Amino acid sequence: MWRGMHVRDVRREAGRQTTRNIRIDLVVEGVTADERWLCGLEFDYANEESFYCRPLRETDGRTPERMPIPDAAGGVRIAFLPPMSGLAATETRLDHGAVNVRIGEGRTAEVLRNLCFRIHEEQPERWNGLVEHVGSLFGAELDPPRYIAERGEIVMGYREQGARLDLSSSGRGLQQTLLLLAYMYANPGAVLLLDEPDAHLEILRQRQIYRLLTDVAAESGSQIIAASHSEVLLNEAAGRDVVVAFVGPPHRIDDRGSQVLKAHRDIGFDQYYQAEQTGWVLYLEGSTDLSILRAFARRLGHERALRVLERPFVHYVGNLPTAVQSHYHGLREALPALRGVAIFDRLEGVPRDIAPVDCLMWKRREIENYVCSRATLESYASTSTPDEAEGPLFTAAEAERRLGVIRTAIDEIRSALDTLGKGSPWHPDTKTSDEFLTPLFETYFSRLGLPNLMAKKNFHVLAEYVPDDEIDSEIGDKLDAIARVAESATPAG
């Protein structure tokens, strides 16, 4: 329960060491019978197996005054239901308390028939409603649960398309829905804590189950507090109920759910964690761009850029400024101080800064244009690694042969581009990666009788062969910008 298992606060004050317990304070507000009430509790660490729970203190000191527990708060029934954990093949009849204990332990697989049996025996009208709901959702007709005294077991089946089957043969979606409804009917008027009520349900059923749960809760005078990552449930709830986002500090969603939907649909927890740990995010067209930037940082000895590019939080956006805007604002919902830098292939218009994201653009068509020149390609061909040759030694003759093959391939592909009216492969407007380098290396390795060792994902290797006088100063400028943003970020801790 304590973050990082940090239960004591030890500090030195006026030359003396003081130790204080770190308490967890919880305050719950509610309205019962049109009367507003407030109830506060504090949790104090005792040992690895227990903690103290007391009314919240209202003053400091050795014997502080404490908040009274209102009678209305004591009358609130809380019921917690974890996700469906499957369904046991057999189920022994259990007393009410034993059912609650198993649910609290997450053993929902062992109580579903018991819940249905209790409703069938004690609330026949609600049982009929339960059968009707399951029939409308899944087209299955529930049979009444039966108690087999000889075995002390409860058995239950259902009928589907004329066939009678045991409940264990049903799908997880039906079992999950039946568990939710049975639990709600068995606990009318309670505050229901539901964990992932959409589990095991496809998209259409998720919308149905949300509406069904809210209708049943209103009918039985219950309140639902549910945890979910489902876009469908969040979308439904944002329009009519309260949605609290737990990305960063817990907070109400004020824009009717758009950012929280983005957060859970497009941005996983791992990305929030990386953003929190680094304090900045790098947006690139694809993973090849990152590899080429790293290779150039090594070539130029750019230590600042090399350091931050070793473990960056990078997100690939396919050269779409709108994707940067969408992703960044989803992260910023939780991390307002997050910095960012985006580097795009050349766009038709100048990308607009999404403050504080610095939006930059290559002057040439794409980053691969900066590793594409005749000298670079010839250098690569003539200095290929020995294990690519047909023998243990890479002879001068083999180097000369490969150089001749690459020169011939360059001339052929260049001629084909001219014929198609696509211009020179060295021109900054050419989409070098797809139109020139990819067919070039396919031809080159085919004529060497080798598999293609230079797919697009490996184009960063060419950065090692770019002559020093051909490395564009723009490369250094972009590396400077990345280092500047990373160094201005405020990572956690």
- String of b and e for 408-445 (b: at least 16 CB within 10 Å)? ebbeebbeebeeeebeebeeeebbbbebbbbebbebbb
User: How many CA within 13 A on the CB side of residue 110?
Assistant: 15
CA–CA distance, 327 with 11 (Å, rounded to integer): 40
Give 150's DSSP letter. Answer: T
Contact 380, 444 (CB under 8 A): no
Q: Could you give the CA distance from residue 427 to residue 447 in angstroms, rounded to a whole number?
A: 26
Q: Measured in whole angstroms, how far is the alpha carbon of residue 268 from the centre of its chain? A: 1
Q: What was the pLDDT predicted at 42? A: 95
268-to-3, 103, 245, 385 alpha-carbon distances in Å: 21, 29, 13, 40
User: What pLDDT shows up at residue 257?
Assistant: 47
Residue 182's closest CA among 207, 156, 152?
Answer: 156
Instruction: State residue 56's pLDDT score.
Output: 94
Mind listing the domains of the chain with CATH numbers? 3-74 (no CATH), 78-242 (3.40.50), 269-367+475-488 (3.40.50), 374-465 (no CATH)
| Distances, alpha carbon 65 to alpha carbons 24, 27, 41, in Å | 17, 16, 13
pLDDT of 350 reads 65
- Quick one: 98 exposed, middle or buried, by C-beta within 10 A (0-12, 13-18, 19+)? middle
What does the alpha-carbon distance between residue 300 and residue 463 come to, in Å, rounded to a whole number?
11
Give residue 388's pLDDT.
47
Instruction: Divide the 493 residues of the chain into consecutive groups of 10 and give the mean pLDDT of each group.
Output: 85 83 91 87 92 92 89 86 84 93 89 95 93 91 95 95 92 88 89 86 80 88 88 74 75 56 62 86 93 95 94 91 88 87 86 79 94 94 62 68 94 92 91 94 92 90 94 96 94 72
Residue carrying structure tokens 């998720």: 206
pTM for the model stands at: 0.58
Half-sphere exposure of 338 toward its Cβ, with a 13 Å CA cutoff? 28
Q: Rounded to whole angstroms, how far apart are CA atoms 258 and 266? A: 12
The predicted pLDDT at position 430 comes to 92
d(CA 235, CA 261): 7
Question: What is the pLDDT, as a whole number, of residue 387?
Answer: 47
